[in-house]
Amino acid sequence: GESVGLHLPTLSVQEGDNSIINCAYSNSASDYFIWYKQESGKGPQFIIDIRSNMDKRQGQRVTVLLNKTVKHLSLQIAATQPGDSAVYFCAEKRDSSYKLIFGSGTRLLVRP
């Protein structure tokens, strides 16, 4: 559904540990997914994307996993750093629609 940002779930991790941020999407017809990072006072920053014909994609220190059976998307961040502290959004594009629908976001806090 449409994003609602009133209460953000928070993930707190120790610096150097791996982080896993999860996202459930609603439409089985969605064919393109994007993860964004948003820092305070800035716009969403593109991290990584994945198309529905893939189940895994890796970038620099990040991996996105897509499980279409249960409509679940995850973002894994290796060796989490203080600079990774931000709100992370997953977004889905539904087949035959122009809209990119954003999830409600997860706040990642990295403890030094």
- Give the dihedral sign, CA 28/32/35/41: negative
* Residue 37 binding another protein, by CB under 8 A: no
80: helix, strand or coil: coil
Residue 112 as a binder of another protein (CB under 8 A): the answer is no
Nearer to another protein, 4 or 79 (CB): 4
Q: List the interface residues with another protein, window 45-84 (CB under 8 A).
A: 45-46, 49, 51
Minimum distance from residue 16 beta carbon to another protein (Å)? 28
Q: How far is CA 99 from CA 30, 31, 42, 56, 96, in A?
A: 11, 12, 21, 23, 9
With tokens 């999860």, the residue in question is 22
Task: Tell me which residues touch another protein (CB under 8 A).
Answer: 2-6, 32, 34, 36, 41-46, 49, 51, 89, 93, 96, 98-100, 102, 104-105
